[in-house]
Amino acid sequence: MRYKQLKFSLLIITAAALTIQADAQESVSAAGGNASGNGGSVSHTIGQVVYQTHIGPDASVAEGVQQPFEILGTTGTEDTKGISLSATLFPNPVSEVLQLQVKSESLQDLRYQLIDTHGKALHSAPIVDHLTRIDLHHMPASSYFLQIMKGKGELKTFKIIKN
């Protein structure tokens, strides 16, 4: 008799546990949707009015809020060893052709080097014009680094995202 009661109790507990539903995130929004293409997909919401923020000693999380992806280091001015260099890189993320705009008094001995995330140099060429087009259509989608160098010294490094 005791075995039947234990079996029945276990069946009731299992059935109760299976009926509990948990939601990871919930938001109240006016509109939204999903979009996808060859370069990936994106999910968006418009008019989100309810969210909750959790703040810890080292970080914070906004539950139910889509976090932005920031790309830093797309422009820069460096003064290294008396060499003044101002460079702009666009578009970033890039799909086919990357434009490197260099504002420097002299382009002599300036070159760029494309490096993958493992540190392997993929392509290197001299900078002969203030606007240089770098063809990346043959490169796989990934993150890369573009170093601007004078002689053997590095002046500026940009992080590039290839779609």
Q: Cβ(158)–Cβ(146) under 8 Å?
A: yes
- Residue 75's pLDDT is 46
**What tokens does 7 get?**
């079996």
Q: What is the pLDDT of residues 23-44, one digit of tens each?
A: 555 556 667 778 888 878 877 7
Q: Please list the residues that pair with 62 across neighbouring strands.
A: 53
Q: Which residues touch 57 (CB under 8 Å, ≥6 apart)?
A: none
> Given pLDDT bands bounded at 50, 70 and 90, which one contains residue 135?
very high
Q: How far is CA 87 from the centre of its chain?
A: 21
> Given pLDDT bands bounded at 50, 70 and 90, which one contains residue 73?
very low
Q: Does the global pTM surpass 0.75?
A: no
Looking at this protein, which amino acid is placed at residue 82?
Answer: G
Q: Cβ(104)–Cβ(79) under 8 Å?
A: no
**What are the boundaries of each domain within the chain?**
75-162
Class of the 75-162 domain? mainly beta
Tell me the average pLDDT of the chain.
76
Query: Could you write out the DSSP letters of every residue in the chain?
Result: -HHHHHHHHHHHHHHHHHH----S-----SEEEEEEETTEEEEEEES----EEEE-SS-EEEET-PPP-----SEEEEEETTEEEEEEEESSSBSSEEEEEEE-S--TTEEEEEEETTS-EEEEEE--SSEEEEE-TTSPSEEEEEEEEETTEEEEEEEEEE-
- Residue 112's pLDDT is 92
Region 83-112: mean pLDDT is 82
- Residue 20's pLDDT is 64
**What tokens does 75 get?**
């422009």
